[in-house]
Structure 1
Amino acid sequence: MSATTTPIPQQGAGRGPVRVQGPAPVLDVVVPVFNEEVDLEPCVRRLHAHLGAQFPYPFRITVADNASTDRTPEVAAALAAELPEVRSVRLEQKGRGLALHTTWLGSDAEVLAYMDVDLSTDLAALHPLVAPLISGHSDVAIGSRLARGARVVRGPKREFISRSYNVLLRSTLRVRFSDAQCGFKAIRADVARALLPHVADTGWFFDTELLVLAQRAGLRIHEVPVDWVDDPDSRVDIVATALADLRGIVRVGRGLATGAIPITRLREQLSRGAIDLDPPGVPPRLLRQLVRFAAIGVLSTAAYLVLYVLLRGGIGPQPANFIALLVTAVANTAANRRLTFGVRGTEGAARHQFQGLLVFALGLGLTSGSLALLHGLTEPGRGLEVVVLVAANLTATILRFLLLRGWVFRRTDQSALEETGTAVPSVESAR
């Protein structure tokens, strides 16, 4: 891969408003192209005229040529020679994600954007797109064809595919943004420098991967409803792109689940922090955890009783109690780790299970002791045994929650809640 790039200025991450100083542009709009010799010039001239008339800060337009084999490089070079605010970058490999990765990291602008060469999105949305980034209010901005207020003209096939893809993202990666693939996005340069090294895709899934990382890192994603008209000459291979997207979803999901993607470190580096989770008049975090813990506890108790009843006839009450409690304790710890306290990845999982087994030992002592005391006092029937075990289990459950919250998951509780979306990004506009 070869490209002409501009060195990256060394700046610290920040969330304040952009400081306009020196000759460097405030905004760099990248237009990725492949064999666009016909559409490139009218696109760049129209975009240049719009920015010159409407955008109040210095800007640049970067044409990122992805190994075109027609006259696209010559057209881009001629535009760069004529218009001072236009530059041309040539890459020897194809891929929209690759073009954005290279040009964004090589830009000295403080706000980075991109749009498709067909200009399907109305340029009137450009200023609303980048304004929250310039002010420091938001970190990433996306044009959305699916947000309320958007006006879209396209065929039913593309409409169905787009909506199905975004439903798939919400159900698999639990995204909260509405439109992952609209070719109209912007990002603060400091945020881009932190996120892009962890974005692996070089094609069409690049957008989705970047947004998922931004959301999980606790960044604010601003959405702008756009007017969008489908380009009938689009050369995107829908089937190949869909398959690549599915592979990307699996890869990113695996990376998030295993901890291969360093979300915790990115959150510490970039997140605006969490708002107060226990403000007056709002149900506190403890209550949310209790609700989730209780739901898991009901299922665990039901599973425990079923196992106990099934095992008791063959091995006796005490061994049946031990095995049923052990199996459900391991499952209970894993479920509470993920759902109640929001801890993901394999890091610390063995330690959490070991500590959970210690808590299990306390529960075993309560239930076994209750059984022993019951049999020492009388010859109980099966029904009385179950009643006593349920009461002992309830006591053990309360103790279990207190120990899980105050000991096992004490250090990871807060940060993990932010990752899973329970905590809401801060409303501060700057740090």
Structure 2
Amino acid sequence: MVPLHAHSVHVGKRGRLQARRHPDSLRRSHVDLEVIIPAYNEAGRIASTLTQTVDFLAVQPWSSRIVVVDNGSVDETAALVHRISRELGDAVPISVLGCSRRGKGAAVRRGLLSGTSRYTGFFDADLATPLATLTEAMAQLAGGAAAVIASRHAPGSTFVVPQHIGRRMGGTAFRALTKSKVKGIQDTQCGFKFFERDALTAAMVQCRSTGFAFDVELLLRLQDNDASIVELPVAWTDGAESTFRPFQDGVASFASVIQLQKATS
């Protein structure tokens, strides 16, 4: 199989999809899967996250790379990633990308578009979704799915540690808001999503959101392109150290999705 080349994308004057290689991608060897981990001030847990992820990936039948996207952290996140990379060796290489534009969506976008792998995706640094979910995700992608996303609300999913009531109420309202936009998807916001690169690139070229609406718009663009999306029920753990603020971030979430609805209606 000929490796897919890494690129960022734009639309030319005649609407033709064009590609530009990302400088970082030219320094990264080809692997089957690139795992993007967006990180903002994650010095307290990034070492544990990377160690667990490397241990898991190192024994899988596919080759992998971890790409940590440092989203403007003001702590020692990047330095710790470099240190852990040296300590853990080359079985699963770890790269660090900087992203000066604030927002998880911007960080994820930068990571996803910087790679060379046939499959790529992201999960949050808190490992709220079990790493073992990747096994089924890769099986579904190899079987022809364009996207595989974890779901906290699909039949069969469970909460290992219950969500705080504020997040639970906000999540219910948010799902009601997005239900008519992304049809058939129970959970647009779970921080675990993996993709086949060609399908991802075709959807990403149409995306404009970089904030809380990023996940919603990406899934919407995939559906617009008739790409198949598989939703996996998971046993999810609500992290005690989550940086999500129910009121402030909840308001921003609703505002970003309403803006997306206006832009795509």
Q: Following superposition, which runs of at least 4 residues in structure 1 exceed 4 angstroms of deviation?
A: none
Asked if structure 2 preserves the Cα contact closer than 8 Å seen for 1:30 and 1:115, the reply is yes
**Residue identity in the other structure for 1:64:** V
1:180 corresponds to: 188
SS in 1 for 2:179: helix
User: Which residue in 2 is equivalent to 1:25?
Assistant: 31
Q: Does 1:192 align with 2:197?
A: no
Deviation of the 1:141 alpha carbon: 1.0
Deviations 1:135-178 (A, max 9, x none): 3x21111100001111113233322222221122114x252101
Q: Is 1:8 the equivalent of 2:14?
A: no
Query: TM-score when scaled to structure 2?
Result: 0.83
What is residue 81 of structure 2 aligned with on the other side? 76
The residue aligned with 2:25 is: none
Structure 2, unaligned runs of 5 or more: 10-16, 18-28
Q: Deviations over 1:164-204 (max 9, x none)?
A: 21122114x25210101101111111122111122222122
2-structure distance, mates of 1:197, 1:77: 31
Equivalent residue, structure 1, for 2:147: 140
Alignment match, 1:60:
65
C-alpha distance in 1, partners of 2:165/2:34? 34
> Which of 231, 234, 259 lines up with 1:251 in the alignment?
259
Please tell me whether the aligned partners of residues 145 and 227 of structure 1 are also in contact (alpha carbons under 8 angstroms).
yes
Identify unmatched segments of 5+ residues in structure 1: 1-5, 13-22, 258-431
- 1:42-97 per-position Cα deviation (integer Å, ceiling 9, x unaligned): 100101101112x2111011111111111111001122334322111122232111
Q: How far apart are residue 133 of structure 1 and its match?
A: 1.4
Give the counterpart of 1:95 among 103, 128, 140: 103
User: 1:160 is matched with which residue?
Assistant: 169
Give SS of 2:209's match: coil
Taking a change above 3 Å as real, the CA distance of residues 184 and 230 of structure 1, as seen in their structure-2 partners, is same
**Distance change (3 Å), C-alpha of 1:240 and 1:156:** closer
Structure 1 residues 235 and 129, CA, compared in 2 at 3 Å: closer, same or farther? same
2: CA distance, partners of 1:60 / 1:176 = 31
Equivalent positions of 1:296-335 (< 5 A) are none
Equivalent in the alignment of 1:113:
121
Determine which structure has the larger helix proportion and give its number: 1
Number of residue pairs the alignment of both structures matches: 238
Identity of aligned residues (%): 26
Q: Distance in 1 between matches of 2:132 and 2:62?
A: 16
Q: State yes or no: 1:169 paired with 2:174.
A: no
Does residue 47 of structure 2 align to residue 34 of structure 1?
A: no
Greater relative contact order, per chain length (Cα 8 Å cut-off, separation 6+): 2
* Structure (1/2) with the larger strand percentage: 2
TM-score by length of 1: 0.52
Whichever of the two has the greater Rg, that structure is 1
